[in-house]
Amino acid sequence: MTISIILFIFSTICHSQDIKHNPWSLIIYRPENSYHINEIPCYVKFEDAITKEDVTFSKIKANYSWASNPKDGYNYKKSYYLYGGMIMHTLIKPGKYNITVYTPKDKLFNAEIEYKKDWNSNTFYYNTENPTKVIFISPTVDENGFYNGNWYIDYKAPEFWKFTKGKK
């Protein structure tokens, strides 16, 4: 009986943890869009702004939660990614970083979209000495309002209608 209780507590600690906001951390939020855009993952990459070295896993620690239940946190298994409606909570070592997101075209499964290409984002500069608290990731749209296969990172929240509007 005691062993089963210990195993239950251990598995709970390893798979879920209560999220508490750290004022020196960065929150990356990808609001919900239509269901087929929500299911497209975007992978987050951190690059040292000075050396251009990929530091995603060496200087960044992250876990995620769902916007519908932001207090329950989960550890990432292999890569840092976001689906629509997910929040990434990061702890970042001091420094200056370029943050980008991308989706390889082979990860566009089930996407009912015309643009089967690699999706990339703009570069967001982040300095831990003058930190932004939250950044938002949105899919981009063309002049007619249709998703055109890229991402946009901004410190301003995107416009909302029924779902997040794409960034032009």
Q: Is the pLDDT at 55 greater than 70, yes or no?
A: yes
Q: 9: which 2 tokens?
A: 């507590």
CB-based contacts of 99: which residues, under 8 Å, 6+ apart? 28, 44, 45, 46, 47, 123, 124, 125, 126, 135, 153
pLDDT digits (tens, 9 = 90+) for 74-114: 999 999 999 999 999 999 999 999 999 999 988 886 656 66
Enumerate residues 6+ apart whose C-beta is below 8 A from 63. Answer: 17, 19, 73, 74, 75, 76, 88, 89
Which pLDDT score is estimated for 22? 54
Q: Residue 141: pLDDT above 90?
A: no
Q: Say if residue 128 is exposed, middle or buried (CB neighbours under 10 Å; 0-12, 13-18, 19+).
A: middle
Q: Can you give the pLDDT at residue 111?
A: 59
Place of tokens 């087929």: 36
CB 90 within 8 A of CB 25: yes
- List domains and CATH numbers for the chain: 24-154 (2.60.40)
Burial label for 14, CB within 10 Å (0-12, 13-18, 19+), is exposed
Count of beta carbons in the 10 Å neighbourhood of residue 119: 26
* Interval 1-20 mean pLDDT: 41
Query: In this prediction, what percent of the chain has a pLDDT beyond 90?
Result: 52
In this predicted model, what pLDDT tens digit does every residue of 148-166 receive, in sequence order?
A: 889 999 999 888 654 555 6
Dihedral-angle region of residue 52 (phi above 0 means left; psi in -120 to 50 means alpha; beta otherwise): left
Does the structure show a pLDDT above 70 at 35?
yes
